[in-house]
Amino acid sequence: MTAIAVIDYDMGNLHSACKGLEKAGAKPIITDSPTEIEKADAIVLPGVGSFDPAVQHIRSRHLEQPIKDAIASGKPFLGICLGLQILFDRSEEGTEPGLGIIPGVVRRFRSEPGLSIPHMGWNQLQLTQPNLPLWQQLPRDFYVYFVHSYYVDPIDPQVTAANVIHGSQSVTAAIATNNIMAVQFHPEKSSDNGLQMLSNFVSLVNSQVAV
């Protein structure tokens, strides 16, 4: 069975993500062990909360280099919500440097009349990489569930895999480059669409393990 390391750094509901992965036929392993991360077939980095505590926890548990090594090895990697944001250089939410894996900044939504911050609830994706394995067997521009006040702003627009519109602002909702995929929304809270997405990730991992 495919072993997927779900990285534990005290910043999120790991069990919801694990249930989705289990339904897709994977064996999720909640871990903060560099050895387990190295042995796993793929990595999931979830997260809920604030930017600075997240990167502080990752560094205090000596997880920064194991995460970077796993990505450099070519293993499939899925970041979820805060697990997307901390891949970037820095955030307007705090002062700590991010992991610097994806060049760019995490920005706060601009205030405008009638705009709710945080952006919370169901919203429709606009796919910019429609052939991404994560989107397979899903309708184009499907709905997913968001809870966030900050969004990623990559330097290279080509890494954006999907956008979302909130108020008058169109922002990055997902990125994909090489073996890295990461989403701002919560697949584990996105009903059948989210479960399909997690299943697609597991299928991608299985195909690589089989090779």
Q: Name the residue ranges covered by the structural domains of the chain.
A: 3-210
pLDDT confidence band for 211 (50 / 70 / 90) = low
Q: Is the pLDDT of residue 170 over 70?
A: yes
pLDDT digits (tens, 9 = 90+) for 35-69: 999 999 999 999 889 999 999 999 999 999 999 99
List pLDDT tens digits, range 77-124: 999 999 999 999 999 999 999 999 999 999 999 999 989 999 999 999
Predicted pLDDT at 1: 73
What positions carry a catalytic annotation? 81, 186, 188
Contact 67, 58 (CB under 8 A): yes
| Mean pLDDT of the 10-38 span | 88
The two beta strands, 169-177 and 160-166, are: antiparallel
Mean pLDDT, all residues of the chain: 94
**pLDDT surpassing 70 at residue 33:** yes
From residue 99, alpha-carbon distances to 6, 8, 77, 116, 148 in Å are 17, 16, 14, 29, 20
Condensed to tens digits (0 to 9), the pLDDT of residues 118-144 reads 999 999 999 999 999 999 999 988 999
The domain made up of 3-210 has a fold known as Rossmann fold (3.40.50)
> What pLDDT is recorded for position 23?
86
